[in-house]
Structure 1
Amino acid sequence: MKSPSLSSSLNNISQSATYGPSTRGLIVATTIGNAFEFFDLTVYSFFAVLLGKLFFPLASSQQQLLLSVGTFGIGFIARPLGGVLFGVLADRFGRIAAMNLTLVTMAVGTGLIGVMPTYAQIGIAAPLAIVAARLLQGFSAGGEVGVATTLLAERASSSRRGYITSWQFASQGAAALAGSLVGFLLSHYLDKASLEAWGWRIPFLAGVLIAPLGLYLRSRLGGEADAPADAGPDSVGVLKTVLQRDWRLVLVALFLVVGGTSAHFIVIYYMSTYAIKVLHLPMDTALWCGILAGAVMLVMSPVGGIWSDTFGRKRVTFISRVLLTVLILPGFYLIQHSPSVSTLYLVVCALAALHSINAGATGSMLPEMFPRSTRATGLSLAYAAGVSIFGGFAQFIVTWLIQTTGNPAAPAWYVIVCGVLSLIALLFVVDRTRQDI
């Protein structure tokens, strides 16, 4: 079979009119909540150094960063609980009802961060309140991705499921791009005092406006686009079935997620912090890592989805994961031994492209693994648990590893270990490309 060129794949992406207004509307309405979540994560990640200074001022510079990225990770602790709750709601009462609830909860958590007084204003209550807001965000986000991905996969035709579902991950790239651009503009045009006093609050407060837009778009989908499970076990029975019958599928899906989430939070988010703290680059220069990585993910995730529809999920997932696992360490060594801005941007774009292709292919593989009656619950639980453990705390872990070992390539080794776990899990996946689900 002749391999399609990148240009032909991009042409396929542009032909979204093929799917009609209802499908385009479904993609936008479904992915907007995911984009909202990752916009907030992007902003928090890129202002991690500043937030550490404002909310943990009594610690040293390195400890401030650790506490800030640790707080970033704490929000992920609540994800598995949110994944179970919203997944069960989706399997019992419909995907859209559960997604709307996650969107509102997410907006409340984000708004709280935007209006939160700093340590200088209310003392120890400030970091405690930030932790509470992050837990609320994490709880809601735990159900958003799994339920939304399930809805996209179930509504797509078997021949285009990879492409349609890949937009869930392309939306993460769009959010990272938007969040990075906002961070860049604020840090570039505001002086340091203004940025610390009020400028950092702007993206969090602006992000809340996404919620009413998302609710409006989802209300227009109506019952036709919803996809609750067929009559089956009640809410308690859904979770019991997942834990007793589908636990092996959950475990395999979790380790598939591990490889992608570790790469995502290192390549897409951490590289800006790495450029500031390890390479000692200015903030506005470092933020271009996120801008470029987000742009690459926006374009290349659908390419990965298209290729998975053409060549099969397992083949595209395997090749892209192996390439990323093999090339990330040389990429970090290249940055260290040739520490120029152009080298940094080149490595980030290359790694982001491989990660995005992998995400586009894996995105449809995950819902294909589960039966319809428990799909949202099983996928939400596996995704939330994997992201919580290996993604949310990725920045904390690699920051600690760099400080402890003195090895600036520690982030690469973290992604390599997680990538190997993901490749092992891939051996147990049955490829259901082009099959009805």
Structure 2
Amino acid sequence: MDARPGPHPGATAHPALDRKAVGAVVLGNALEFYDFTVYAFFAKPIGAAFFPAADPTHSLLASLALFGIGYVMRPIGGALIGAFADRAGRKPAMLITIGLMALGMLLLAACPPYAAIGGWAQVIVIAGRLIQGLALGGEVGPSTAYLLEAAAPERRGFVTSWQIASQGCAALFAGIVATILALVVGDQAMNAWGWRLMFVLGLAVVPVGLIIRSHLPETAGVEEDPNAAASTFAVMKRLLREHGRLLGLTFLVISASTVSNAVGTNMPVYAGATLGLSETAATAVPIALGLASVAFPLLGGWLADRVGRRLIMIWPRALIVILAIPAFAWMVKAPGALNVYAITFLLSALSSINAAAVIVGIPEALPRAVRSAGLSIVYAVSVSVFGGTTNYVINWLIAETGDRLAPAYYLAAFSLIGTVAAFLLPETRGRDLDSNREAGEA
């Protein structure tokens, strides 16, 4: 008797994915990275608005701590919304997450400063970051599972890599818009109100994403044992019992990728505060980050479809281990704008190739009935632990030790761990998504 799950009501094996549909699916991830990039760059004025202090460093650190608060909710969102997507379908979960994302961004963009309403400003922005963290924790699992399940088997790597490429598109857009605004209105206006406008621009695309997502076909499967998916607790219990080793290795691999992303998005702050570049020069750093993050994930997905997921997880990450410290040492010795752009581009390109293989290989290794929850939870925990702390930690290390190579040491250490973990993961290219056997296997 065939024990594979049947289709979810309304599900299709490989629904047609046009550009509009792919864009709607990856929009949530794009908004996440847009918010990530904008917040990382404008951490100083956000801190001054909501956490004013006599020492600007304390204000910056408070702002970075606020940035990290949202990550507290990500594992909860990953568990609740990820399991919901496995039970009720990918589409309703994706509609919930993008709506919550918009609410969180709106609270941050519209909140009056501390000078106007005192401590209530801090309460409002903390609430906004918690709501957004809940949404983002549950976004990556359903949207990635949807792309994977909707793509033709021979193109899963390339199609799913758009999840990573969307991050580059968002960072590139953020860098270009911030640079243009800074040139038009000046640094003073950007610090006073320009950063709010950056968040409002991100919100403008939400209605389009909601409309298109609501018309997507469903791809979720139904659980073989209906009682097994009756609760989030049951899903998590099954994941740990049957896939604990895979989830542990995945945690390490995604943690390395998360640290790479955080170091990259911290580059504007590093370029300005540590290397002494001008505000205008530092503002353009996300453009280099975005350019690399648009093209190279697609290259990584294309390669993963041809040579396998595992090799593309290992070698780019290993190259970061080798190059991180020499690259930062070069920037410190010759802290010019072009050097910063070049190193940002190189490290982002390698990390993007690696991430494309990770984002397709991990969910392929999980059964359809727990795919969204598994990826959501492990991704959310990894990003919560390291995405919300890396910027704070590396800036704190620089301040405490005076060593401007601190980000390089941090990046190299995590990349080494990620390389070893990727070596231990299974190869999943050609695997049947329902049976978890190789395609064509009897």
- The offset of 1:436, in angstroms, is 1.9
- Which of 210, 226, 238 lines up with 1:215 in the alignment? 210
Q: Is 2:287 the partner of 1:294?
A: no
| Structure 1 residues 292 and 386, CA gap change in structure 2 (3 angstroms) | same
What do residues 281-322 of structure 1 show as CA deviations (whole Å, max 9, x unaligned)?
122211211111111110111001101111111112111010
- Which of 244, 248, 257 lines up with 1:260 in the alignment? 257
In the aligned structure 2, how far is the partner of 1:104 from the partner of 1:70?
24
- The offset of 1:154, in angstroms, is 1.5
Counterpart residue type for residue 402 of structure 1:
I
Q: Is 2:397 the partner of 1:404?
A: no
Q: Is 2:427 the partner of 1:431?
A: yes
Q: Does the 8 Å CA contact 1:112/1:133 hold for their aligned counterparts?
A: yes
- Which of 366, 370, 386 lines up with 1:370 in the alignment? 366
- The offset of 1:193, in angstroms, is 4.3
Moved more, 44-53 or 197-206: 197-206
Q: Is 2:354 the partner of 1:358?
A: yes
- The offset of 1:247, in angstroms, is 2.4
- The offset of 1:46, in angstroms, is 1.1
Q: Does the 8 Å CA contact 1:369/1:429 hold for their aligned counterparts?
A: no
In the aligned structure 1, how far is the partner of 2:412 from the partner of 2:338?
24
In the aligned structure 2, how far is the partner of 1:419 from the partner of 1:194?
38
- Which of 317, 339, 344 lines up with 1:343 in the alignment? 339
- The offset of 1:368, in angstroms, is 1.3
What TM-score does the superposition give when structure 2 sets the normalisation length? 0.91
- The offset of 1:336, in angstroms, is 0.6
- The offset of 1:394, in angstroms, is 0.8
- Which of 116, 119, 133 lines up with 1:121 in the alignment? 116
- The offset of 1:192, in angstroms, is 4.2
| Structure 1 residues 408 and 126, CA gap change in structure 2 (3 angstroms) | same
Q: Is 2:241 the partner of 1:248?
A: no
- The offset of 1:231, in angstroms, is 4.3
Q: Does the 8 Å CA contact 2:394/2:410 hold for their aligned counterparts?
A: yes
Counterpart residue type for residue 205 of structure 2:
I
Q: Does the 8 Å CA contact 2:17/2:151 hold for their aligned counterparts?
A: no
What do residues 252-297 of structure 1 show as CA deviations (whole Å, max 9, x unaligned)?
2111101111001112x10011011101212221121111111111
Q: Does the 8 Å CA contact 1:95/1:228 hold for their aligned counterparts?
A: no
In the aligned structure 2, how far is the partner of 1:435 from the partner of 1:231?
19
| Structure 1 residues 249 and 127, CA gap change in structure 2 (3 angstroms) | same
In the aligned structure 1, how far is the partner of 2:389 from the partner of 2:176?
24
The equivalent of 1:155 in structure 2 is 150
- Aligned-CA RMSD value: 1.6
- The offset of 1:206, in angstroms, is 2.3
In the aligned structure 2, how far is the partner of 1:239 from the partner of 1:117?
40
In the aligned structure 1, how far is the partner of 2:187 from the partner of 2:89?
47
Q: Does the 8 Å CA contact 1:26/1:225 hold for their aligned counterparts?
A: no
- The offset of 1:20, in angstroms, is 9.7
In the aligned structure 2, how far is the partner of 1:156 from the partner of 1:193?
47
The equivalent of 1:52 in structure 2 is 47
- The offset of 1:244, in angstroms, is 2.7
Counterpart residue type for residue 273 of structure 2:
K
- Which of 267, 271, 275 lines up with 1:271 in the alignment? 267
Gaps of 5+ in 1: 1-18
Q: Is 2:314 the partner of 1:304?
A: no
- Aligned residue for 1:245, secondary structure, equals helix
Q: Does the 8 Å CA contact 1:90/1:228 hold for their aligned counterparts?
A: no
What do residues 318-376 of structure 1 show as CA deviations (whole Å, max 9, x unaligned)?
11010012101111000011111111111111111111111112111111121111111
- Aligned residue for 2:266, secondary structure, equals helix
Query: What is the correspondence of 1:23-102 to structure 2 with a 5 Å cutoff?
Result: 23-102=18-97
In the aligned structure 2, how far is the partner of 1:192 from the partner of 1:351?
28
In the aligned structure 1, how far is the partner of 2:222 from the partner of 2:389?
33
The equivalent of 1:381 in structure 2 is 377
Moved more, 332-341 or 203-212: 203-212
Counterpart residue type for residue 266 of structure 1:
V
Moved more, 328-337 or 192-201: 192-201
Counterpart residue type for residue 165 of structure 2:
A
The equivalent of 1:227 in structure 2 is 220
Counterpart residue type for residue 249 of structure 1:
L
| Structure 1 residues 219 and 392, CA gap change in structure 2 (3 angstroms) | same
- Aligned residue for 2:425, secondary structure, equals coil
In the aligned structure 2, how far is the partner of 1:243 from the partner of 1:209?
39
